[in-house]
Amino acid sequence: MDDIRTSIKALLREANEKDSSDIHIGTDIAPVLRTNGGLVPLEVPPLNAEETKFLLFQLLTPGQQKFLEEHRSVDCAVGFPEIGRYRVHIYYQKMQLSGAVRKLADTIPGMDTLGLPPAAASLAELKMGLVLVTGATGSGKSTTLAAIIDLINTNFSHNIITIEDPIEYVHYGKKSLINQREVYSDVPSFSDALRGALRADPDVLLVGEMRDLDTIRTAIMAAETGHLVFSTLHSRDATSSLTRMISVFPPEEQAQVRQQLSVSLKAVISQQLLKRADKPGRVLAAELMMVTPAISNLIRMGKQEHIYMAIETGNKLGMQTMEQCLVNLYQAGLIDRDTALQSAKSATLIEDRLASAEKEIKNQKHVPLHTHKLPRRSH
């Protein structure tokens, strides 16, 4: 265990053995692993400032170390043979270094393995428009986007350009031509990379995150002008995603932005990763909004508060609210009742549905195996 304090590779191997998704490294604490959604500190003495810096700097190139000292934080992706690839965020807090290291999957998962609504796969067939994947940090947004891009790459002949910070999943050309640009390494910003990508004859653009007004404006414009654009937001659901995007713009522009989004926005996937009830691990809960003419009109009219009901009644089109998904997961035994209630937008939205699900589960357990009458014997 002593090697963990001096070798980042030893620490990564330890995390792999415990099947941990994240490693948190800081001064005056022992390294902390996130395993099955919970935080567990390693049983080693706390790291001092020099040990923390020594471990974290093993993840950075000299150029990245310089960037960290100038900007006080840095993001990158690193890979080690036989250990794996990792996304790294290193930053200063209270004048001391800290870092978060996330394990990246070795392969890109298929859409059918993620737990998304089946209709989500149809997004790979879109010719143009904007698709958003939203959720908190660590909710699997990058994995969902990688799976969609891989589906396009497998089935269509397109020019795909991704703009990421950092590059998490490495794609190789199949039917499509694919180029991946990393912010700060290949290009100074998302907005610069997006403007440059529009001059490279793209069919599909992936923008890792829409962080500022300029990037959002350019992404909407790209979707309007015949490109298929995928991106992410740190928002809870479809309604809050729309509100957040529109509110970034000055008040005098918001009516025009609503009009643009009513035409260009095609779908919003909102995600959470929840602790499983049936076995160790996590399960995906997802909301899916497909923009229908009715929802498009609600966006244009600024009536986002009515969109939830439109999603809830759109099951025939493959849509589902987060609450509908939570009830289904609970009914399937994949999450417990407390998790469902805590993960809903409002507990009151699903309390009655959970109660109905519980009654249905109880009734299923008490259905007699043989309910038909036996024929009488003839004498």
Could you report the per-residue pLDDT of 196-213, keeping only the tens digit for each?
999 999 999 999 999 899
pLDDT tops 60 at residue 286? yes
Is residue 370 over pLDDT 60?
no
Angle, helix 213-224 to helix 190-197, in steps of 10 degrees: 20
* pLDDT band, very low/low/confident/very high, at 347 (cuts 50, 70, 90): confident
Inform me whether the pLDDT recorded for 21 exceeds 50. yes
Residue 365 has pLDDT above 70, yes or no: no
Flag whether pLDDT at 335 surpasses 90: yes
Q: What average pLDDT does the segment 17-29 reach? A: 95
Could you report the per-residue pLDDT of 122-131, keeping only the tens digit for each? 999 999 999 9
pLDDT of residue 346: 86
pLDDT bucket at 139, cuts 50 / 70 / 90: very high
Residue 231 confidence (pLDDT)? 97
Q: Which amino acid makes up residue 165?
A: D
What is the CATH architecture of 8-103?
2-Layer Sandwich (3.30)
What are the phi and psi torsion angles at 61 (to 5°)? -80, 165
pLDDT mean over 16-43 = 94
Confidence of residue 362 (pLDDT cuts 50, 70, 90): confident
Each residue of 310-323: pLDDT tens digit? 999 999 999 999 99
pLDDT category of residue 367 using cuts at 50, 70 and 90: low
The domain defined by 111-355 carries CATH number 3.30.43.10? no
pLDDT > 90 in the chain, percent: 82
Q: What is the 3-state secondary structure (H, E, C) of the chain?
A: CHHHHCCHHHHHHHHHHCCCCEEEEECCCCCEEEECCEEEECCCCCCCHHHHHHHHHCCCCHHHHHHHHHHCEEEEEEEECCCEEEEEEEEEECCEEEEEEEEECCCCCCHHHCCCCHHHHHHHHCCCEEEEEECCCCCCHHHHHHHHHHHHHHHCCCEEEEEECCCCCCCCCCCCEEEEEEECCCECCHHHHHHHHCCCCCCEEEECCCCCHHHHHHHHHHHHCCCEEEEEECCCCHHHHHHHHHHCCCHHHHHHHHHHHHHHEEEEEEEEEEECCCCCCEEEEEEEEECCHHHHHHHHHCCHHHHHHHHHCCHHHCCECHHHHHHHHHHCCCCCHHHHHHHCCCHHHCHHHHHHHHHHHHHHHCCCCCCCCCCCCCC
Provide the token pair at 103: 């394990």
Nearest-10 crossing angle of helices 293-301, 254-264: 170
In the chain, where are the structural domains located?
Answer: 8-103, 111-355
What's the average model confidence in pLDDT over 4-11? 91
The pLDDT of 42-46, averaged and rounded, is 94
pLDDT of residue 307 exceeding 70, the answer is: yes
Distance between CA atoms of residues 73 and 291, nearest Å: 38
pLDDT of residue 368: 55
**Rounded CA gap, 209 and 194, in Å?**
11
- Residue-wise pLDDT tens digits, 163-186: 998 898 999 999 999 999 998 889
